[in-house]
Structure formats: structure tokens, C-alpha cells
Amino acid sequence: MLALAYRDLPDIDAVTPLNEDDFACLAAIRDVLAQHGRLDRFGITLMHGHFPIGENEVLVESCDDEARILTMTIQPANVVDQGNLVQTAWRLSDGATLATCRNACVVSDGKHRSRHVTSR
């Protein structure tokens, strides 16, 4: 499932930025989220890639709260098996799989600030 999340994503340089053609779609999504009381729970992200990520790799996001810096590095995919993750982003699909996790935050002592994991 994780390998599907980034498959066929266009490179960031090939992605069309947000524009007026997107507004009707975003309004419809907003309305559905509002209908279900989820406006403060879910949002939207621009689907894109920056570089190829291997089948057995994930992006690990680390956070330096004091410097206000997020850094992403490639790690072995088995880091996802740590068991202390909160999924934070999903790629939705038309197929049998409704959602594939793209991002998950590592939780330690009830907080997730020290390390984040972005799944492939």
C-alpha cells in the first residue's frame, strides 16, 4: 500500500500551481467536510514528488521546534513498523483502496514534535 502513495506523481516543477480552475472543486470538498463536521480535521495538499523514493524507503520528517525547521530524510521503510505512528496524510483513490497513507507522525510521550515519518 505504501508504494502506491507516490506512484505516478508529477514532479513539483511540472505541477500547475493552484488556480481559478481548482476553486469549484475545493469548494465542493469544503462543503462535504463541513457537512460531516470535519473542516478542522482534514485539509488538502497538492500531490507532487521531488525525487524518486525506493520501494523500501520512506521520508522521515524531523522537527526542530526552537529553530522552526522541518527536515526530511530518506529512511528504511521498516521505520513505519515502530507502532507509535499517527497517520497524517492520505492519497485518495478510485480503486478498491480508498486511502493510502502518505504521512505519519511518530508520537513519544503523547507528543509528536521530535520526529515525523512520511510514508511512501
Longest CA–CA separation in the chain, Å: 43
| 49-99 pLDDT per residue, tens | 888 877 777 777 777 788 888 777 777 777 777 766 566 667 777 765 556
Domain range holding 96? 2-118
pLDDT value of position 1: 43
State how many domains the chain has.
1
Strand, coil or helix: 110: coil
Is the overall model pTM greater than 0.75, yes or no? no
Query: In the predicted model, is pLDDT for residue 3 greater than 70?
Result: no
Residue 21 confidence (pLDDT): 96
Q: Which of 11, 1, 81, 71 is nearest to 46 (CA)?
A: 11
Q: Which three cell numbers stand for residue 9?
A: 506523481
Q: How confident is the model at residue 107 (pLDDT cuts 50, 70, 90)?
A: low
- Gap between the Cα atoms of 120 and 109, Å rounded: 25
Taking Cα atoms as reference points, which of 16, 101, 95, 7 lies closest to residue 49?
7
Are residues 107 and 84 in contact, defined by beta-carbon separation less than 8 angstroms? yes
